[in-house]
Structure 1
Amino acid sequence: MDKPSTADNHQPHGTEAVVTVQPVDAASSDINHTLTDNINIASDLQQWQALSAWSIVSNIFSTLKSILSNGFAIVPIVYTGWKQGFDMQWGILASGILLLLVTLLAIIEWRKFRFRLNNHQLEVKRGLLFTKKDEIPLSRIQNIRYEQPFYFKPLSLGTLVIETAGSKNDEAHLAALDTQQAQTLKRLLLNLPYAKTLSTSEHSQVNEQDSADTSQTIVRKSLWDLVLFGFYQNNFIWFAVIAGPIAGQINWDNIFDSPVAQQFWLWAQQQTHQNIGLQTIMVIVVLFGVYSLFSLISIIAAILKYHPYQLDKHDDTLQRSGGVISHQQDALAIRRIQLVHVQQPIIARLFNRWTLYFKQVKGHEVEHKTKQHMLVPSVKPAEIESLLAKIPHLSGGASALPNSYSPIHVNWLTRRIALPLTLASVISIVGYYGHQSLGFFEVIWFATTMVIVALFIRYKQWGYVVADQVIWQHSGFLGQQWKRVTFEKVQHVSITQTQSQKQAKLAYVEVGLASGSVVFPYIPIQVAELIITRSLNATSHDNRNWI
């Protein structure tokens, strides 16, 4: 007979023994396993790493996308050639040769591409005949974007795009990385400048715990918000550039003489009863419908790129995630933000929505880098103050949009009105002696009046607000925008005065930031001197690098 256990000896009669089993903490085990994997990945990244062969696919798609995105200008040419009898065989042959060359270049890029993380810098080398090596200090890294195209999702692969301050293009493009490797590398690139060591498991565990504790969701955007964003952010000018030459190839006479067009015009006349006002309203409704139809492209693009939109604050870093087909994660260090730009196009004013941009250090090409700024779409006015309040480390502190602003001096308007008035007067005098018809003078002065009205609207939108730590600039035409400049980020202030401005005690002020310049025209000289004083005071108290 087995000897009863001590627990059995102390168990009262008539009751069942309760055996306590210590559970295994599965979550802790998973965390420790993940930390170990991250440490191993971090150690491997110190050696030269090759990209996965799947990066060939990414390079092919990226090159073709670049060719197509920069080839809008050839759309009218292709359309015209097709209308005049395009040779399909030559087209297929040219496309095949292009695809073959792109594939060959992608294979060479994959074979010669290497990267490693060494001594607080990311090193990248590539090239066939001539090896090019880039050494990117981590202190220069401005934005890290994680992308996962649809063709990488089943493979659990992703791409890291690393942008640096002042660069013309993306500094490094690491394609087809394992998801865990990409996320670990992204964390190391963001945290290495502030850590003494990253090799011990204790420090990694502290970082993981701190990240979990300090992660905060700042804003989420619904599907409807993105639909509104795509609708009001539509850039109609690109449609005009492409459609204009194509429209020139269409025989409009045949279209207008068609039975459908004649029936529509007869119906419109019957509905409006030959009333010019009602016909004008109908034309406006038709144009709005055409704009809405074209906006479908912009709406779909906004949904595919941003849904489900989420902006998180992770320690001292902002991270935006979203994307339906191609998942993206943008990481931006808060200290890199140079300017907060809040924009409201004319269509957005109907919905009382704004688009908020966190502008970074620009590269050599302003147009290229502008598209890379992190943005928050479809923001309500009440959300702006709440959003900025969740980023206390943002220079200048949080602040709501001002309710009003001080206008620039009226001299700005009078000096600009003088030119079209003078030009119209000279043309009228010449036309009078040339015996021009009355219609000639009506056209000249109608155009002059439209120019003056446009200048007046522009003048009414110019203004500024000077606060303790920031200065706001208001501008716009039919839409409006606010630019929030922090005195801590000001790199230089340029003051220009003409002779007339000196007499009126006015100045033309240009405030220089690492993200570009902000101009305040025709403001009082006292305000200009105040901007200089507060900028110098902010720099003297905090002389760290502006960038």
Structure 2
Amino acid sequence: MTEPSQQSTNQQSMGKFSQWQALSPWAMLSFSFGTAKAILSNGYAMIPIVFAGWKNGFDLSFAMIAALFLIISLTVFSFIQWKKYRFKLIDNQLNIKRGLLFTRKDEIPFNKIQNIRYEQPLYFKPLKLGTLIIETAGSKNDEAHLAAVDSNTAYKIKQQLLQITANSLEENGNSESLLVHDDASCENDVTNLATRTHAFDNTEPANNSSQSLPNIIIKRNLLQLIKFGFYQNNLIWLAVIAGPILGQIQWETLAEIPFFQQLWHSIITLSGDNIILKVSIILLLIALVYCLFALISIFSAVLKYFPFTLEKRQQTLQRSGGVISHQQDALAIRRIQLVQISQPVLARLFNVWTVYLKQVKGQEVEQKTEQHMLIPSVKTTELQSTLGKITGLAGGSCNVPRQYQSIAFAWFLRRGYLPFIPAAILSLFLGANLASLLICVSAVVVSGLIYLRYRQWGYVIDEEAVWQHSGLFSREWKRIPFTKVQHVTLTQTQGQKQKGYAYLTLGLASGEMTLPYISQSDAQYISEKAMMATKYDTTNWI
């Protein structure tokens, strides 16, 4: 097909979107709330003024006038924003223009789009509307907001963006077959890219319903999301929330409350002189307090992700979920830089993992919280089948290794003795007493933790990727495809040279990964594999 006829076909497939389109008048709600949020987020500068006014006497009539003026200003400003906001899809790019005195026009090529997500805030839910957010690589903030869009229109726009991206890749020779691997371990691989491309090229977008049918990768029910909320980030919540609370508690007053006096008396009565039993009861009480704070994380996880669904449409992953604010995220599979499989300490109790699909650093699916697309509460037996369904994922093998090659013991030897240096110095000053004994015990504990850290460091070299294993009490696997490596750094000290060890740093668009104290031959092999993989592959990393 010639270039003019191809452009004509693309414009026909755009339909009404090839002309400048206005947003629904309900978009003024989104503009108003967005402006109010920006004012409140920067409103700390008004705190001294408000406080001074309150100390000098509160004028209710003045406050009402100020509030009325603010509401009118927000209404007028949101009306202007809505009136001057236009968008269209033409020539393989999304065009947006806005502004009253100074017109701003954005042109976003489809093949530069990094994320597409559909959010449905609480105020849009009764109207069955939402906001379509389009982000590009290199933009620190959301690139484009299409507010007050119904789900059907949002779906059509999203499909146009994703389908034309696939076409433009085919035309430019960036065949995604470079990212599809016929690996026997990926048991759930479906038809190859050539078949999909042939079907796509010979089917009009209007009749392309068979190509748009989703392939559900995984779903998570309420119980699985409760488990995820329980084991994920609870220690952070405990530190953030419990710290200020504990600092404000009047412990002397608390100790005089009859309930706590009775509780302490019961502990003394049950345990008697058994110190171990006393410690066990206290630890049980701490665990109960921890579970109380875990309810915050559980509540947040359920509200944000329930009902969780991850599906695959052509070469795009789409995640949906959310109770109060329903959200749909879209991520092109070729954008995924590495796969991270994490198992926090509490997740080991349930034998589940969290899978992160990491993309360009700074361009996470959820930019505000810098969170990558994740799959919660994945059982060990589900890992291979889940990754296997994501066909087109760079890196080949879908099998999570069961064993790994440990780093050199010299890594521990260079660090294990360090805690004993301050312990020895303090013991010399303090002499032989209980304090010096506790310091020495602490040094032993720290050194033991360093040893556990050493035991968790390891790596596995696959045909098309290298796996990194790390952790302390938790466990974590990172799968680094050779085709995603942007640069390699191999460093050695003089001692490492003599013993044949090296530090290897692999630079990806999602960040750097380090393999410390591995054998020099393995480091050179990995670096050569990565450089050879990218030498003959012109596919864009991101």
TM-score range, shorter chain: 0.7 to 0.9
Q: Shift in Å at residue 422 of structure 1?
A: 2.5
Partner of residue 108, structure 2: 136
Partner of residue 345, structure 2: 346
Asked whether 1:305 is paired with 2:304, we answer yes
Partner of residue 178, structure 1: 150
Asked whether 1:57 is paired with 2:52, we answer no
The 5 Å alignment of 1:68-107 reads: 93=63, 96=67, 100=71, 106-107=78-79
Distance in 1, matches of 2:33 and 2:295, equals: 24
Cα deviations across residues 17-42 of structure 1 (Å, max 9, x unaligned)?
xxxxxxxxxxxxxxxxxxxxx99993
Partner of residue 113, structure 1: 85
Structure 1 contact 233–345 (Cα < 8 Å) conserved = yes
Distance in 2, matches of 1:141 and 1:89, equals: 51
Question: Could you tell which deviates more after superposition, 38-47 or 123-132?
Answer: 38-47
Question: CA 1:265/1:517 → structure 2, altered by over 3 Å: closer, same or farther?
Answer: same
Cα deviations across residues 341-360 of structure 1 (Å, max 9, x unaligned)?
10111110111110001111
Asked whether 1:505 is paired with 2:506, we answer no
The 5 Å alignment of 1:430-469 reads: 431=429, 438-469=433-464
Q: Shift in Å at residue 209 of structure 1?
A: 2.8
The 5 Å alignment of 1:141-540 reads: 141-195=113-167, 203-212=204-213, 215-363=214-362, 368=367, 371-429=370-428, 431=429, 438-540=433-535
Question: CA 1:262/1:381 → structure 2, altered by over 3 Å: closer, same or farther?
Answer: same
Asked whether 1:126 is paired with 2:121, we answer no
Structure 2 contact 483–537 (Cα < 8 Å) conserved = yes
Question: CA 1:302/1:60 → structure 2, altered by over 3 Å: closer, same or farther?
Answer: farther
Structure 1 contact 140–164 (Cα < 8 Å) conserved = yes
Structure 2 contact 234–293 (Cα < 8 Å) conserved = no
Distance in 1, matches of 2:515 and 2:423, equals: 29
Structure 1 contact 392–398 (Cα < 8 Å) conserved = no
Structure 1 contact 491–513 (Cα < 8 Å) conserved = yes
Question: CA 1:184/1:479 → structure 2, altered by over 3 Å: closer, same or farther?
Answer: same
The structure showing larger relative contact order (alpha-carbon pairs under 8 Å, at least 6 residues apart) is 2
Q: Shift in Å at residue 334 of structure 1?
A: 0.8
Cα deviations across residues 211-265 of structure 1 (Å, max 9, x unaligned)?
23xx311111111111101111133324423442343233221011211111111
Partner of residue 14, structure 1: none
Structure 1 contact 39–201 (Cα < 8 Å) conserved = no
Question: CA 1:135/1:299 → structure 2, altered by over 3 Å: closer, same or farther?
Answer: same
Q: Shift in Å at residue 182 of structure 1?
A: 1.3
Question: Could you tell which deviates more after superposition, 280-289 or 100-109?
Answer: 100-109
Structure 2 contact 417–447 (Cα < 8 Å) conserved = no
DSSP-derived class of the 1:147 partner? strand
Partner of residue 3, structure 1: none
Q: Shift in Å at residue 266 of structure 1?
A: 0.6
Distance in 2, matches of 1:176 and 1:60, equals: 12
Question: CA 1:412/1:382 → structure 2, altered by over 3 Å: closer, same or farther?
Answer: same
Distance in 1, matches of 2:13 and 2:151, equals: 12
Aligned-pair identity in percent equals 49
Question: Could you tell which deviates more after superposition, 241-250 or 469-478?
Answer: 241-250
Distance in 2, matches of 1:413 and 1:535, equals: 28
Distance in 1, matches of 2:69 and 2:435, equals: 54
Structure 1 contact 148–328 (Cα < 8 Å) conserved = yes
Question: CA 1:86/1:510 → structure 2, altered by over 3 Å: closer, same or farther?
Answer: farther
Point out the structure with max Rg over C-alpha: 1
Structure 2 contact 14–90 (Cα < 8 Å) conserved = no
Question: CA 1:149/1:450 → structure 2, altered by over 3 Å: closer, same or farther?
Answer: same
Cα deviations across residues 38-69 of structure 1 (Å, max 9, x unaligned)?
99993332233332232232244456667889
Q: Shift in Å at residue 289 of structure 1?
A: 1.4
Partner of residue 180, structure 2: none
Question: Could you tell which deviates more after superposition, 355-364 or 503-512?
Answer: 355-364
Identify unmatched segments of 5+ residues in structure 1.
1-37
DSSP-derived class of the 1:186 partner? helix
Identify unmatched segments of 5+ residues in structure 2.
1-9, 172-200
Please tell me the residue identity of whatever aligns with 1:423.
Answer: P
Structure 1 contact 362–370 (Cα < 8 Å) conserved = no
Q: Shift in Å at residue 127 of structure 1?
A: 4.0
DSSP-derived class of the 2:161 partner? helix
DSSP-derived class of the 2:28 partner? helix
Cα deviations across residues 298-332 of structure 1 (Å, max 9, x unaligned)?
21222222222111111111111222222222111
Question: Could you tell which deviates more after superposition, 489-498 or 106-115?
Answer: 106-115
Q: Shift in Å at residue 408 of structure 1?
A: 1.0
Cα deviations across residues 490-528 of structure 1 (Å, max 9, x unaligned)?
111111111221111111111111111111111111111
Q: Shift in Å at residue 449 of structure 1?
A: 2.3
DSSP-derived class of the 1:376 partner? strand
Structure 1 contact 41–181 (Cα < 8 Å) conserved = no
DSSP-derived class of the 1:151 partner? helix
Distance in 2, matches of 1:242 and 1:223, equals: 25
Cα deviations across residues 376-429 of structure 1 (Å, max 9, x unaligned)?
110001101011111231112242211111111112112123433223333333
Question: Could you tell which deviates more after superposition, 41-50 or 343-352?
Answer: 41-50
Structure 2 contact 467–478 (Cα < 8 Å) conserved = yes
Structure 1 contact 138–190 (Cα < 8 Å) conserved = yes
Of residues 516, 539, 542, the one that matches 1:544 is: 539
Distance in 2, matches of 1:466 and 1:483, equals: 12
Q: Shift in Å at residue 532 of structure 1?
A: 1.4
Q: CA RMSD in A?
A: 3.4
Distance in 1, matches of 2:502 and 2:509, equals: 23
Question: CA 1:440/1:281 → structure 2, altered by over 3 Å: closer, same or farther?
Answer: closer
Distance in 1, matches of 2:267 and 2:332, equals: 57
Q: Shift in Å at residue 88 of structure 1?
A: 8.9
Distance in 1, matches of 2:476 and 2:56, equals: 47
Q: Shift in Å at residue 193 of structure 1?
A: 2.5
Distance in 2, matches of 1:113 and 1:233, equals: 40
Please tell me the residue identity of whatever aligns with 2:541.
Answer: W
Question: CA 1:229/1:105 → structure 2, altered by over 3 Å: closer, same or farther?
Answer: farther
Question: CA 1:292/1:134 → structure 2, altered by over 3 Å: closer, same or farther?
Answer: same
Question: CA 1:102/1:282 → structure 2, altered by over 3 Å: closer, same or farther?
Answer: farther
Question: CA 1:468/1:108 → structure 2, altered by over 3 Å: closer, same or farther?
Answer: same
